Structure 1
Amino acid sequence: MVTSPSNRVVAATIVRAGHETRSGSVTGASTSALIFLTPPPRGSAAHDVKVNVPNPIRKATLLMDSIVSIGTACGALAAVLAPPADPARVTVWHALYLVWLVAGASDFLLHRRSHIEATSGLRESSLHLLQIVLLGTATVLWLLFADTPALWFVLLAMTCLHALTGYWDTRIAYPTRDIIPLEQHVHSILDLAPWIALGAIGFPLLSPHHVPTAAAFTVSPAPLATWTFALVPGLLLSVVPGVYEYHRCRRWAARAQAPEGRR
């Protein structure tokens, strides 16, 4: 479990002198970036500081938030409506897959709560996209090829890379932003799910009734319903929030590097 000691709660506020009003807000075009290494505690002076964002940027942000919210809702709906290949064989694995995706979407919401764009920023967000690419590629390979030992070892390698990337991600996030207990438990689900899926794929290969194929990799696409059930919810609950988070972090980084008069 990752904990954040109280002495790590640090707020670094970069504001030109003379522009802070009595209410604690900061106004004027000369306002610089407001950077929280971790969210400051409520009631502190830094917590009350607000930065006036230009109206077009605020409108664009609200629009993107609405798109992501609608996408998340559509993803959950698609996960419910898209049936497996055989509706009579709906198993606990289908439910666990949906729990995994919902946990991933929740993780992005928790990143937003801890102001990832103003803390760990692009470094952490890029690793989130890398983890999505690794598991997304593994999912497509599983859907496209028949289950063989060779495929299983490829999936094992990608799962290991995902675990190492997740550790790297945490090493970056821990010193810079607040990781609350809820996010830590969400991470537990995200860390365990790929290994559980890997075990579910590999266990039948050990069965004496398993008939091995001559080729190491045999193209044997899953039914269309299985592709839909696996990819559509994953796209809307994982890829869309991940890309949007990266967009927010990139926009924040660009504003922080821009000349002061253009922020």
Structure 2
Amino acid sequence: MSTEALLLAALAWAVYPAWLLAGALDFVCHRAMRIERNAGTRESGWHLVQLALVGVPIVLGLFLEITALLLAIALAALVLHTLAAYADTRVAAARRAIPPFEQHVHAALDALPAVALGIVAVLHWPQAAALAGLADGDWTLRPRATPLPWTAVAAVLGPAFVLAIVPAWLEWRRCRRFALARQVAGDRRT
């Protein structure tokens, strides 16, 4: 098996599933900690921001050629995701306990996007080298010359929808409903 095939297999069968599993476990932790009652929509909002920051480069990578510009966008999104994760943790830690298991889940959620981007960069090394000015790169965004099969796109987006997007939306909805109910209850007391 070639190095490229091994890297693709690692990305598809190890890194991405582990990343999705860690995300799903994080939402289970939030549910167990009843974040709607403490950190609420502020924390849940940061989860939506982080989801968008990792989701956009993934979707772009499914439909566009992996160019230096796309890698730069993904790297910028990774840096912003890291900053958002820090802000999320500050919000959460100020309002609730973050148990050790959840902290380890967060460690995976911090590391796995960087591992995934690293694998993609190695697979597209001339474009990645262009980010450091070591080679000429393609600084355009353009559709893939050979589109990925719909089954591959579905294999990436389907599990993300079930394990990340739906739980994030349900968490936000739960937090928002609790905040509104608390507000109504407070209004009735005055």
**Which has the greater radius of gyration?**
1
How far apart, in 2, do the equivalents of 1:126 and 1:181 lie? 22
Matched, 1:241 2:160: no
Tell me the TM-score normalised to structure 2 length. 0.84
Q: 1:190 aligns with which of 103, 109, 113?
A: 109
CA deviation after TM superposition for structure 1 residue 114, in Å: 1.1
Which runs of structure 2 are paired with 1:80-91 in the superposition (5 Å)? 91=9
Which gives a bigger RCO, structure 1 or 2 (Cα 8 Å, sep 6+)? 2
CA deviation after TM superposition for structure 1 residue 96, in Å: 2.0
Which runs of structure 2 are paired with 1:1-263 in the superposition (5 Å)? 91-94=9-12, 95-206=14-125, 216-220=140-144, 221-259=147-185
Query: Per the alignment, do residues 179 and 214 of structure 1 end up closer, same or farther by CA in structure 2, a change over 3 Å counting?
Result: closer
Contact 2:65–2:142 (8 Å) recurs in 1: yes
Spell out, residue by residue over 1:198-248, the C-alpha distance to the aligned partner (whole angstroms, 9 max, x if none).
11111133359x9x7766222103221221111000000001111001111
Tell me the TM-score normalised to structure 1 length. 0.61
Aligned to 1:69: none
Aligned to 2:4: none
Query: Per the alignment, do residues 163 and 260 of structure 1 end up closer, same or farther by CA in structure 2, a change over 3 Å counting?
Result: closer
How far apart, in 1, do the equivalents of 2:137 and 2:41 lie? 44
How far apart, in 2, do the equivalents of 1:262 and 1:112 lie? 28
How far apart, in 2, do the equivalents of 1:150 and 1:90 lie? 21
How far apart, in 2, do the equivalents of 1:214 and 1:163 lie? 26
Unaligned runs of 5+ in 2: 1-6, 130-135
Structure 1 residue ranges, 4+ long, deviating more than 3 angstroms after superposition: 212-215, 259-263
Higher helix proportion: 2
SS in 1 for 2:163: helix
Query: Per the alignment, do residues 176 and 149 of structure 1 end up closer, same or farther by CA in structure 2, a change over 3 Å counting?
Result: same
How far apart, in 1, do the equivalents of 2:186 and 2:53 lie? 38
Unaligned runs of 5+ in 1: 1-88
Aligned residues: CA RMSD? 2.7
- How many residues in Structure 1 have an aligned counterpart in Structure 2? 176
How far apart, in 1, do the equivalents of 2:142 and 2:34 lie? 45
